[in-house]
Amino acid sequence: MNTPLSLLPEISVVIPAYNEGEGVDRALATIAGILQTVSAAWEILVIDDGSRDNTYARVCRYAQTESRVRGVSFSRNFGKEAALLAGLKYSRGRAVVAIDADLQHPPELIPDMIAKWREGAKIVHAVKRSRKTDSVGKRLAALAVNQIISRMGGINIHNSSDYKLLDREIVDILVGQLPERERFFRGLSSWIGFNEEYIEFDVSNRIENESKWSFWSLVELSITALTSFTSVPLRIVTFLGLLTLVLGFAVASEALWSWYHGQAVSGFATIIITLLLIGSFIMISLGIIGEYIAKIYEEIKARPPYLVKSTVGIADEKLA
Ligand code: UDP
Ligand code: MG
């Protein structure tokens, strides 16, 4: 980039938005108001993740009067992870804050995050103090997935969210040095390490419409999270195999013993149960292996994680 350093923003705020037409103006106004108080040079980047509503049109209109608001529009819905990645790529600030478009991540925290960053933190994680707005099922599922990933992957993502501030150094690592296509932003930013700080917050209620995550998209995110951070499930397959082997030996010895002592080997039920058990072990194992193969397949195709349809307020050189 040829822009002189002095013109670069100090703070970039990245907002992934999918069908957020109803709330995006308010989010932009609120966040811009807060940024105004903490930094002289800032920018807000809205990544329209292929919305079907007027999200992008509103961003464009906003950008006409406020040149520090910029927008990128995807050719279709590529998912929040892709939107976050694009946001990081297009951002130019010395620090980059990722925040949701629905104001469920309280923007009032931004000044605290920036303060911590100015004190030397490279990553400031906003951590959910409560998940009151989530259903019991979603809370339990999140607990389980976070627990498993934290245990197996050796990183701490308990109650973490995608609401984070990252120093330019971290952004450059995330964008430039981690070539994986399927990403789990939350996990990756913990995995990097460096000087991390935490701020707690309460998730507020969504003002407009519904959460954009369907049940299956959450399942998919969990599988991505697991497969990108740990290969322990593959070891579980090996373990299941060993377990069946030991059980097999035990049952076989018992059968031989009975046969040797002249008793007929009995137990149709035992056979059926064993068959079914082993059958399901095999199927589950194949499934687990399949998930990892699918992951390899996705990575090896090396398709771009997103395609940009148009941008507003962004110099063309960055489109490449
Ligand atoms: N989002 C996105 N692409 C998607 C789904 C969601 O960019 O495919 C954005 C959405 O606009 C919002 C953020 O990701 O800014 C979080 O989404 P949501 O509020 O629906 O999720 P939740 O708060 O339930 O985690
Ligand atoms: Mg939300």
Question: Which residue has its alpha carbon closest to ligand 1 atom 13?
Answer: 100
Shared domain for 60 and 187, answered yes or no, is: yes
The ligand that comes nearest to the alpha carbon of residue 99 is: 1
Q: Quick check: is 220 in a domain?
A: no
pLDDT at 1: 44
Of 14, 15, 18, which is best to mutate to test ligand 1, by the most ligand atoms within 8 angstroms of its C-beta? 18
Question: Which residue has its alpha carbon closest to ligand 1 atom 11?
Answer: 17
- The 10s digit of each residue's pLDDT in 200-244 is 887 766 665 566 667 777 777 778 778 877 788 888 888 888 888
Shared domain for 246 and 185, answered yes or no, is: no
pLDDT at 30: 92
Question: Which residue has its alpha carbon closest to ligand 1 atom 3?
Answer: 80
Shared domain for 59 and 112, answered yes or no, is: yes
Shared domain for 128 and 263, answered yes or no, is: no
Shared domain for 142 and 252, answered yes or no, is: no
Shared domain for 203 and 240, answered yes or no, is: no
CA of residue 302 relative to chain centroid, distance? 19
Shared domain for 279 and 241, answered yes or no, is: yes
Q: Quick check: is 218 in a domain?
A: no
Question: Which residue has its alpha carbon closest to ligand 1 atom 8?
Answer: 79
Residue 37, token pair as written in the block: 């108080």
Provide the CATH number for the domain around residue 157.
Answer: 3.90.550.10
Q: How far is the CA of 39 from the centre of ligand 2 (A)?
A: 26
Distance CA 85, CA 99 (A): 13
pLDDT at 236: 86
Q: Phi and psi of 74, rounded to 5°?
A: -80, 155
Q: Quick check: is 140 in a domain?
A: yes
Q: Quick check: is 3 in a domain?
A: no
CA distances from 140 to 105, 143, 173, 256 (A): 21, 5, 32, 47
Structural contact between residues 62 and 17, judged by C-beta atoms closer than 8 angstroms: no
Q: Quick check: is 180 in a domain?
A: yes
Q: Quick check: is 35 in a domain?
A: yes
Q: Quick check: is 318 in a domain?
A: no
Q: Quick check: is 2 in a domain?
A: no
Q: Which atom of ligand 1 is nearest to the CA of 203?
A: 23
Question: Which residue has its alpha carbon closest to ligand 1 atom 22?
Answer: 211
pLDDT at 115: 92
Of 100, 130, 159, which is best to mutate to test ligand 1, by the most ligand atoms within 8 angstroms of its C-beta? 100
Give the strands of the sheet with 95-98, arranged side by side: 196-202, 123-130, 160-167, 95-98, 11-17, 42-48, 69-74, 308-312
Shared domain for 206 and 266, answered yes or no, is: no
pTM summary value: 0.75
**Residue 253, domain extent:** 232-301
Q: Which atom of ligand 1 is nearest to the CA of 104?
A: 23
Distance CA 57, CA 113 (A): 30
- The 10s digit of each residue's pLDDT in 110-146 is 999 999 999 988 899 888 876 666 677 777 777 777 7
73 lines ligand 1 (CB under 6 A): no
Q: How far is the CA of 101 from the centre of ligand 1 (A)?
A: 7
Shared domain for 163 and 248, answered yes or no, is: no
Shared domain for 163 and 297, answered yes or no, is: no
116 lines ligand 1 (CB under 6 A): no
Structural contact between residues 127 and 200, judged by C-beta atoms closer than 8 angstroms: yes
Shared domain for 186 and 38, answered yes or no, is: yes
27 lines ligand 1 (CB under 6 A): no
Which parts of the chain sit beneath pLDDT 50?
A: 1-2, 317-320
Structurally, the chain folds into a number of domains equal to 2
Shared domain for 205 and 65, answered yes or no, is: yes
The angle formed by the CA atoms of residues 35, 77 and 81, to the nearest 5 degrees, is 55
